[in-house]
Amino acid sequence: MIGNHLEEKNFYNNLIEICESIANGNYEYAKQLFEMTNFNNYPKPIARLAESFGLMLVKVEAREFHLETIIDQLRQTQQDLIKAHQQLKDENAELKQKLHQKFSFQNIIGKSKAVLNIIEKIKKTANTPFPVLLTGETGTGKEVIANAFHYSSIRANHPFIAINCSALPKDLIEAELFGIEKGVATGVDKREGKLVLAKKGTIFLDEIGDLSLSNQAKLLRALEEKKITPIGGKRPIPVQARIIAATNKNLEKEIKKGSFREDLFYRLNVIHIHIPPLRERPDDIPLLIKFFLENTCKQLGLKVKNLTPQAKQALLNYSWPGNVRELKNEIERAIVLSDTETIDVKDLSEKITISQENSNPLQLMSHHNNLTLKEAEKILIQQVLESTQGNKTEAAKRLGISREGLRKKMKRLGIS
Ligand SMILES: Nc1ncnc2c1ncn2[C@@H]1O[C@H](COP(=O)(O)OP(=O)(O)OP(=O)(O)O)[C@@H](O)[C@H]1O
């Protein structure tokens, strides 16, 4: 009896110790103790209790094991995440580096005085907070210049956001630029304005001449107060981005017409860069041709093609009304169409070969046997006037005669 009693006491002691070990998280010891205790010698209720206790221990062990597996998995996932994070960081840095290389002023191709002056101006003013106004015909490279401003400045690690002010209706542009609060109209979600999203970066407002008068007023306020209020918003939000605006319109004329605000013009025009059309900087054409030949061939995995002297001359003689964009497209087209490694005149578009043939009255006459010198001269003058959109000063310059000389010729040849 006493022996039994002692055994029972032992049993309870063991049980308590097992419980304590479990409570302290010492499962291994609890398990050992459980295995060492012979429960079969005890009365049935005690043996059953021990059995269920054993089951509990197994469960705890299983849970512990499971937890450990989960913890291991989590540790592994964390490691993977750290690795992925580092990889993304490296890739991001590499992409940023590429963007800097691709868009900083080193990539403005040209050696004309005009382009060199522009590069100089960017270097001097890139790190200032002042707004920039870029003017020039379509395709002259206004966006290229805006990128160069951003990527060669301290803003380079912040966003560069471009918005085309003529691409969207007035209300959408307003929401894009200044943002909109949730519920302003049914189903409208809150959207941050691009002026705010650009953070400490740059916002490029292309075709600013097409911005509505009401949005011009809002933009002026943003420039003056450095804050914007979203549509339906109550509290103004600070704007830190630098504003670069561009247009191919003559804003002074637009001001006279009443379609552009004079005060906004002066606010934007703090740093003004005018990019002359390509025909006024022919020195840049050979460099641009070389650049586009190399770049496009590389992209297409081709050996870099070259041009016959005649093809090069034809490209130099053309007036490029679509400017650098048109030249780039022409080179890309010629690369694809030419069967050999050398691009010849036949690989160029008709507009360029025709203009080349017609670039002097004698050539025109040789191509059209029945033309008189007077007729050839008339055709030539008409074509040049067409390419300058009727600008006589420019046409006279291209023809190598005075404006007065051109006027007299036009009168004599009956050109209106
Ligand atoms: N100086 C340059 N060096 C290299 N590429 C140029 C240069 N100028 C323009 N380009 C190229 O010509 C094309 C047109 O340039 P961009 O879009 O900057 O012109 P844009 O003046 O902004 O035209 P738009 O007024 O129509 O918006 C682009 O592919 C651009 O890369």
Please determine, for residue 46, whether its predicted confidence score (pLDDT) is greater than 80: no
Least confident of 132-136, 220-224, 359-363: 359-363
Beta carbons within 10 angstroms of residue 160's beta carbon: 21
Query: Angle of helix 309-317 relative to helix 284-300, nearest 10 degrees?
Result: 120
Same domain for 331 and 391, yes or no, is: no
Beta carbons within 10 angstroms of residue 15's beta carbon: 18
- Predicted pLDDT at 306: 93
Section 400-412 average pLDDT: 87
Same domain for 311 and 362, yes or no, is: no
Could you tell me if residue 369 is inside a domain? yes
pLDDT tens string 259-301: 999 999 999 999 999 999 998 999 999 999 999 999 999 999 9
309: CATH:
1.10.8.60
Percent of the chain residues past pLDDT 90, beyond the cut: 50
Q: Which of 140, 244, 273 to mutate to test the pocket of ligand 1 (most atoms within 8 A of CB)?
A: 140
414: CATH:
1.10.10.60
Please determine, for residue 136, whether its predicted confidence score (pLDDT) is greater than 90: yes
Same domain for 292 and 272, yes or no, is: no
Strands 237-238 and 227-228: what pairing? antiparallel
For the chain, the residue count is: 416
Binding pocket residue ranges, ligand 1, CB within 6 Å: 108-110, 136, 138-144, 206, 248, 324-325, 328
Report the C-alpha gap between 203 and 60 in whole angstroms.
60
Same domain for 146 and 200, yes or no, is: yes
Q: How confident is the model at residue 93 (pLDDT cuts 50, 70, 90)?
A: confident
Could you tell me if residue 203 is inside a domain? yes
Binning the chain into helix, strand and coil, the percentages to the nearest 5 are 65, 10, 30
Q: Which ipTM did the prediction report?
A: 0.98
Could you tell me if residue 86 is inside a domain? no
**200 CA from centroid of ligand 1 (Å):** 25
Could you tell me if residue 103 is inside a domain? no
Last residue in a domain, options 276, 305, 332: 276
Same domain for 193 and 254, yes or no, is: yes
**140 CA from centroid of ligand 1 (Å):** 5
Ligand 1 atom nearest to 115, measured from its CA = 1
258: CATH:
3.40.50.300
- Predicted pLDDT at 379: 83
Beta carbons within 10 angstroms of residue 404's beta carbon: 10
Q: How confident is the model at residue 2 (pLDDT cuts 50, 70, 90)?
A: very low
**292 CA from centroid of ligand 1 (Å):** 12
Could you tell me if residue 410 is inside a domain? yes
Structural domain boundaries enclosing 367 = 358-416
Q: How many domains does the chain have?
A: 4
Please determine, for residue 77, whether its predicted confidence score (pLDDT) is greater than 70: yes
Could you tell me if residue 377 is inside a domain? yes
pLDDT tens string 169-223: 888 899 999 999 887 777 778 889 999 999 999 999 999 999 999 999 999 999 9
Same domain for 344 and 314, yes or no, is: yes
Same domain for 272 and 286, yes or no, is: no
Same domain for 266 and 162, yes or no, is: yes
Same domain for 181 and 217, yes or no, is: yes
Pick 372 or 221 by higher pLDDT: 221
Least confident of 85-89, 156-160, 283-287: 85-89
Could you tell me if residue 99 is inside a domain? no
Ligand 1 atom nearest to 110, measured from its CA = 1
**329 CA from centroid of ligand 1 (Å):** 11
The helix or strand, by DSSP H or E, that contains position 346, with its residue range, turns out to be none
Please determine, for residue 137, whether its predicted confidence score (pLDDT) is greater than 70: yes
Same domain for 131 and 168, yes or no, is: yes
**300 CA from centroid of ligand 1 (Å):** 21
Please determine, for residue 122, whether its predicted confidence score (pLDDT) is greater than 90: yes
Same domain for 53 and 183, yes or no, is: no
Q: How confident is the model at residue 6 (pLDDT cuts 50, 70, 90)?
A: low
Same domain for 31 and 123, yes or no, is: no
Could you tell me if residue 157 is inside a domain? yes
- Predicted pLDDT at 360: 61
